[in-house]
Each structure stands twice: as C-alpha cells, then as structure tokens.
Amino acid sequence: MTPKQVLDMANEKDLKVVDLRFLDFLGLWQHFTVPLSELDETSFEDGFGFDGSSIRGWQPIHASDMLVVPDSTTAQIDPFFAEPTLVLIGDIVDPITREPYSRDPRNIAKKAEAYLKGTGIGDTAYFGPEAEFFIFDDVRYDNASNGCFYEVDSVEGTWNTGRDEGPNLGYKPRHKEGYFPVPPTDKFQDLRTEMLLTLEQVGIEVECQHHEVATAGQAEIDMRFKSLVQMGDQLMWFKYVLKNVAYRHGRTVTFMPKPLYGDNGTGMHIHISIWKDGQPTFAGDKYAGLSENGMYAMGGILKHCPALCAFTNPSTNSYKRLVPGFEAPVNLAYSSRNRSAAVRIPMYSDSPKAKRVEFRTPDPSCNGYLAFSAMLMAVIDGIENRIDPGEPMDKNIYDLPPEKLANIPSAPGSLDEALAALKEDQEFLLKGGVFTQDVIDMWIDYKTENEINTVKLRPHPYEFFLYFDV
C-alpha cells in the first residue's frame, strides 16, 4: 500500500491509533503507539523520534536521538489489542544525516537484497524458515548469587504421567515420540490452528501446522516462502502471533533452542533459492536436480557455516542443541535426503520452481533479518568463487566409523567458537557494505560481554551434583 492508501484504509476502518514497530539489534520487536491524528503522508518520510540509547546494542546516551520511518507496505491491523490498531513496521534513520542506521537489522536485509541484484546472479532471494517452538503451561526461573533454578511444565510432559491431575487421563507423548499422533495425545491441535488462522489474518500464507518430535508441546507452523525483507517482517509477526495466542489461553510459547534435557531441541531449517527474471536459478542437471549455481551455493554455506552460526545460532543455549553424535545437523556435509547433514536438497517435488537448498543448522533464537542476510552473502560468495561443496553424504552420518566421521568438519560447539569463526571469516559479509565492520564488532562484543561471560561466571546446578563432595 502507498501512504495514502494506508491512511484511507485507517479512516475507512475508523482506526484511532497507530503502533510503530522495529527490531532491536538482537532480534526483539520494540514498539510505541501514537494517535492516528499524528500520522499523515509526510510521516512516511519524516518519521517519529525515539531514544536509541535504550535499545540493546544501539546508541550511546550522548547520541541517543533516532527516527523510525514507517514502511507503508507493512500495514496490518493488530489482532490482539483491545482498540483496533494500525501496525506499521519502520526503518531506523539517523535524524541528522538522514542515512539508514547501520545497526538496524532491517536495513542490513535491504542492503543484502540490493547487493544480490548488483551481482547479476539474481534479482530475488526467497527464504522459507521452518521455525519450531514449545508450548508450555508454566515457566519459572531465578538467578541469585547463592542459587539458581529453572522449571518448565506442560500437560503433555511425559514426566507428568504420575501427577495427580484429578484425574490424570494419560496420553502424554514419550520423549522423541511427539511426531505426530492425533489427539488426545496431541493436546494443542486447536491452539495451533488458532495460531495458523491468526497468522493468515495478518497476511501470512501458511503451509501447515503440526506437533513436533519432543514431548511437552513441541510444534511447528510453516510459512510459505517470501523474499528476504518480507520474510524478516513475517518472522517477527510469526513470533508475536504465536506468543500472544498462547498467552490469551494461559499458556506460553518459547523459541529457545534447548529448553528440555533429554529430548529434541528446537531448530529452524531455512530454505533458500535465488530467482532471476521470474525463473529459478538453482534448478539444473547436477546432483539432486540442482544447477551449477545451486551446487556452489551449498559450497558457500558449508565453507562459511562456522561464521554463519554466530548469526543463525546466536545464543549460548543454541549449542545445547548442536551437539555432535546426536540428531542435530552439525556435520558440514550435504545430501538429497539425509537429515543428519547440515545442508539438504528437499526432494518432495520434481518441479524446477521447487528446487532450493535447505540449511538445517539454524535455530529460531536468531534475528531473522541478520540470519537470512548472512546466509545470502555466503551463497553469493559460493557462486562468485565457484566453491565446490565436495561429494554428497547420502549415508547416515552417525553410522559412519570414527575414522570416516573424523574427516567431516563440524559446526561450532559453542557461541565462543562461532564468534571466533566470525572474527576470522567476515570478508564475505562486508562485501557491498551489507554488514559493516561496526555491526560485526558490536555483535561480537555484545554477545561476549552480555551472554557468554555472564553464563561462564555462574555455577551450574549440575556442577553441585558432580563436584560438591570433592
């Protein structure tokens, strides 16, 4: 919609307020609300002021003034607010220079799209993330100098088979058996359908919803693929909708990669393809129906995967999921059907339009704009430098003898390792000014100081079990 169309729509629906939203550096939606009377066509150029020093990883206090400039094409009506509210996603702009803000993730995504077009490789990069999540009934946690704990609970949790529920009716999926029995074992069918319909209400095309492998309400809802910036926007709506639908039913949703010990973690497999002039460029006569560019795209992802993980798996908890020897796709190999490989070529359809590459290592704790942009830059680097992905790995990687498994490189084992890889391998991200040195340095510094070090400094409860009696 144009600015005029947005205003006409707001007046036709008798909306009174506008909610302006943008993403902080790490990936959390922020917002503030203004009366509709404050919005006119000039607002889509002039923007609205706010304090950038209060946003994580952004401005210092002495240079805090920032502008959020609403994007008229993102207009939606919020499905949860009591007062019908127009929602506009905005871009962040420096109020003095009027330049897009370098640390605004949406700006980085826009630059990545522009860079792709400038290379001539393609004009559109499509992304299709499969974001998994958990639906819990209760979550409690605390951290103090003399103690810490966490506890989550779910009516589906297999640990509750012996709980007095007055009465306990059973039908609780065992560990790794949640994919995907019908109700009454699946207790969240109606809730997921409400999530699906609410996503459609805000303009998001959904392909399916289902229970996932783990006990305790693990689930997945798949969105139809969209271009980079559009999917970045949609992923924010996705998390917002799922959390709020669950919340109004007295439940909570988390995209934390590994909230449960002893069961599957939460991933976000990301499908990517590049198109040019309305035609897919990854379809061809090479392995699994890929083109030469499709093969090189996989080469770029596999080569840069350790550095990519700093953005696609950006939490210390991410690496509780990415543990070698289990089912998580930590092995840097590719295959047409082998889900234990980091990169897969889905084989559901022979149509050239369906040909894409699936990166299976990421998880939904990531900032989608940054993760998708970094992936695209790795793919472009692979194509431009004709990076050979090597031979496919069509056997079960975890059944290989140790001497062969030792020859397959692995994803980082910790956030420290991922950030160290990013320090050493960042040139592909800096091309075209898509990621700036300031962005990468701030990402590394913020993650190290506020996440890695704070976790390292705290005793772990299991250490008391292991070491208290030494």
Catalytic center residues: 51, 130, 132, 212, 220, 269, 339, 358, 360
Q: How far apart are CA 266 and CA 365, in angstroms?
A: 9
Q: How far apart are CA 20 and CA 209, in angstroms?
A: 29
Give CA torsion, residues 363, 368, 371, 377, to 10 deg. Answer: 150
Q: Of 239, 210, 204, nearest to 225 (Cα)? A: 204
Q: How far apart are CA 55 and CA 25, in angstroms?
A: 8
With tokens 């080569």, the residue in question is: 303
Q: How far apart are CA 195 and CA 299, in angstroms?
A: 36
CA 365 and chain centroid, separation: 6
Q: How is residue 189 written in tokens? A: 């069918």
Q: How far apart are CA 358 and CA 356, in angstroms?
A: 7
Q: How far apart are CA 370 and CA 435, in angstroms?
A: 9
Q: What is the DSSP string of 451-467?
A: IIHHHHTSPPHHHHHHH
Query: Which residue type occupies 197?
Result: L
CA angle (110 as vertex; 105, 113 as ends), nearest 5 = 130
